[in-house]
Amino acid sequence: MTTAPPLRLAILTVVRNDRAGLIDTHDSLQGQLGPQVAWLVADGGSTDGTAEWLADHTDLPVWWRSAPDRGLYEAMNDGLDAARRCGFSHVLFLNAGDRLAAADSAIRLLQATGRHPGAALFYGDALERQSDGRILLKRARSHRWAPFGMFTHHQAMIYSVPALSGVRFDPAFRIAADYAFTLAALGRGPAVRLRWPVCLFASGGLSQRDAATGRCEQEAIRRMQLGQSPVCATAVSALQRVALAVRHHFPTAYAKLRFRCPET
């Protein structure tokens, strides 16, 4: 009988030419790393001093590499492969500039995974910094909303490594490979909703800068992995466009619908 690996959480950070963001992510991990929680970093051959910073702090990540790659998802696959080799039971992807939401986030995540050893996916809420400097809470939707798109930020999802044996990010998708990866995880076992914020999300990433491409990729993924009909998949994409338009043109109304003050 195969025994489950001991509970160990790998926090995987992907970075390219964002030394300040990498340091910000590291700062949020201080006091949370140890035998059960480790940091892994995949740098895509940065030229802004990121690699030099990593070389000067080799005691921080248990694994890191700095080399040119074909983009975000190849780097995430490299980090995931390293986590598998090192025997981690769970992984959280926290990209450069993202932070853990609180000083006890890692231990709470470990406790949650211990309470639900058969779960393939854990997900929680996210904090988002607004343009005016406020930090607001964006509650996760139920994972049953997955056919309509991502139900929380990818940085607020924790995956079981054994449950995802053989699953990788598909680099054919430039923006939405994390959506395909998450759908695969949902097909491998139960999902557990965490009722607290996991991350402080750094806005301005690729998915926000090129939302149109992301929607097209998600539509293709829904048709491929969920078997949605072309009409249904296109209708979901149309709903996503409406939501994005509301956020862009009516930010105050959108904020009232989707955000809360963290203390609530």
pLDDT score, position 207? 59
What integer pLDDT is reported at residue 252 of this predicted model? Answer: 75
In the Cβ-directed half-sphere of 150, how many Cα atoms lie within 13 Å?
25
Predicted pLDDT at 1: 42
* pLDDT at res. 171: 92
Tell me: the pLDDT tens digits for 53-81? 999 998 889 999 999 998 899 999 999 99
Rounded Cα distance, 142 and 145, in Å? 6
Domains and CATH numbers, the chain: 9-207 (3.90.550.10)
User: Which residues of the chain register pLDDT less than 50?
Assistant: 1-2, 264
CA nearest 40: which of 30, 28, 54?
54
Both tokens assigned to 20: 């300040």
Query: Which two three-digit tokens encode residue 141?
Result: 């939707």
Q: Which residues pair with 61 in a beta bridge?
A: 39
- How high is the pLDDT of residue 259? 79
Classify each residue of 36-47 as buried b or exposed e, where b means 16 or more C-beta atoms within 10 Å of its C-beta.
ebbbbbbbbebe
Say how far apart CA 61 and CA 240 lie, in whole Å.
Answer: 37
